[in-house]
Structure 1
Amino acid sequence: MNDIGIFFALVAGILSFFSPCVFPLLPAYITHLTGGKIEEGKILLNRKRLYIRSFGFIVGFSLVFIALGASASFIGKILMDYRIIVMQIAGFLIIIFGLQMAGLFQFKFLMREKKIETKQGTKNVFSSVLLGMAFASGWSPCVGLALSSILLLASSSDTLNQGIYLLSSYSLGMAIPFLVISIIVSYSLKTIKRINKYLGKLSFVNGMIMIVLGFFVLSGQMQKISAWLASYSLFQL
């Protein structure tokens, strides 16, 4: 499952960042992290502080995601005797989550969210790590669906390390655009307005990707594809 699963997790992380309930909030999080303020269409801040505290924020949400991945894999190992059933349930749920993300299903209970808010801005790197952890723990519903899908994939993985790799890839997928877009919007907020126009389409793409992933897991094709990729790589070497 390693290669193709990690690819799906990475893409899911990238698209999760551009979800309609996360991306528009980026300026607020940047000002919260750095103590900056918005004036004349740009964020006034200390750029060195932005880089350092953004790194702390990324470390914070990555720690939570990776811990969740390890926990899901651990539970999956306990249920190893029922691995086929676990994979089929996971695949079915991933498809449901994908349909919800794509807007084809509208289950209200999947749109519930739990927010953890902090009233004060971060004062140092440590507090930015805590903010990242709080951000991941109280994640909004449209990201929660993608995250839950990757966790289900981790629960059906062969080893504990695979679950950690999957959620590390998911975290990396979120971290890269977070850093890049944060730097861009610190010069101009026009980028936010331009990308906002495409958020609905990106959510649909994310949902379609999750549906494909769910069918792979449900049908047991994930292992076959990964085995083929592994043998192909060895042959090339």
Structure 2
Amino acid sequence: MNDVGIFFALAGGVLSFFSPCVFPLLPAYITHLTGGKIEDAKMQVNRAKLYSRSIGFIIGFSLIFIALGASASFIGKALADYRMIIMQIAGLLIIVFGLQMAGLLKFKFLMKEKRFETEQGTKNIFSSILLGMAFAAGWSPCVGLALSSILLLAGSSETLSQGVFLLGAYSLGMAIPFFIISIVLSYSLSTIRKINKYLPRLAFVNGMIMVFLGFLVLSGQMQKISAWLASFSLFF
């Protein structure tokens, strides 16, 4: 599962960042992290603070996601005797979550969200880490669906390390665009407006990727593809 699963986790992280309920809020996140402000369609921020506190925020949400992945893998390993059943249930749920992300299903209970809010901005990189952990613990439903899908995949993995790698890849998928776009926005906010119009399409793509992943897990093809890739790599 490792190679294929990590690819899906990485892609899920990238597309989760560009979800309609995360990406538009990025300017608010950045100003909150740095204590900056928005003037003349431009973010007025200290770039040294932007770099360090963005990294802190990334470390914070990555710690939570990876811990969740390890927990899911641990539970899945404890239920190893029921692994096939867990994989089938996980596959079905991932398909449902994917259809919800794509907008083809409209289950209201899957769209509930918990947001962490604080009145004061972060004071240093350590408070940025704590803020990242807080946001990860109660992020928006768009991320929740993708994250839940990857956690289900981690729960059906064979080893604890696979679950850690999966959520590490998911975190990396969110971290890279977060850091890059944060820097871009410090020069111009027009990027937000340009990307916003493509968000519904990206949400649909994200959902379809999860549906495809769900079918692979449900049918058992995930393991076959990973085994094929592993044997193919021996020739190189």
Superposed structure 1 runs of 4+ greater than 2 Å apart: none
Which residue of structure 1 aligns with residue 193 of structure 2?
193
Note the 1:51-66 alignment, pairs <5 A.
51-66=51-66
List per-residue Cα deviations over 1:20-71 (Å, max 9, x = no partner): 0000000000000011000001100110110000000000000000000000
List per-residue Cα deviations over 1:178-227 (Å, max 9, x = no partner): 00000001100000000000000000000000000000000000000000
Q: Aligned with 1:43: secondary structure?
A: strand
Which residue of structure 1 aligns with residue 49 of structure 2?
49
Which residue of structure 2 aligns with residue 127 of structure 1?
127
CA distance in structure 2 between the partners assigned to 1:193 and 1:138 by the alignment? 26
CA distance in structure 2 between the partners assigned to 1:56 and 1:234 by the alignment? 39
Deviation at 1:137?
0.5
Amino-acid identity (%): 78
Deviation at 1:105?
0.2
CA distance in structure 2 between the partners assigned to 1:210 and 1:109 by the alignment? 19
Which residue of structure 1 aligns with residue 101 of structure 2?
101
Which residue of structure 1 aligns with residue 143 of structure 2?
143
Deviation at 1:116?
1.2
2:169 aligned with 1:169: yes
CA distance in structure 1 between the partners assigned to 2:47 and 2:97 by the alignment? 38
Deviation at 1:231?
0.6
Deviation at 1:235?
1.3
Which residue of structure 2 aligns with residue 36 of structure 1?
36
Task: Report the TM-score, using the length of structure 2 for normalisation.
Answer: 1.00
CA distance in structure 2 between the partners assigned to 1:218 and 1:235 by the alignment? 29
Q: Aligned with 1:122: secondary structure?
A: coil
Q: Which amino acid aligns with 1:206?
A: N
Deviation at 1:115?
1.1
Which residue of structure 2 aligns with residue 207 of structure 1?
207
Which residue of structure 1 aligns with residue 7 of structure 2?
7
Which residue of structure 1 aligns with residue 234 of structure 2?
234
CA distance in structure 2 between the partners assigned to 1:166 and 1:79 by the alignment? 19
CA distance in structure 1 between the partners assigned to 2:56 and 2:114 by the alignment? 22
CA distance in structure 1 between the partners assigned to 2:137 and 2:181 by the alignment? 22
CA RMSD of aligned residues (A): 0.4
Task: Report the TM-score, using the length of structure 1 for normalisation.
Answer: 0.99
- How many aligned residue pairs are there? 236
Q: Which amino acid aligns with 1:166?
A: L
Gaps of 5+ in 1: none
CA distance in structure 2 between the partners assigned to 1:63 and 1:190 by the alignment? 31
CA distance in structure 1 between the partners assigned to 2:55 and 2:71 by the alignment? 24
CA distance in structure 1 between the partners assigned to 2:231 and 2:119 by the alignment? 53
Which residue of structure 2 aligns with residue 157 of structure 1?
157
List per-residue Cα deviations over 1:112-138 (Å, max 9, x = no partner): 001111110000001000110011001
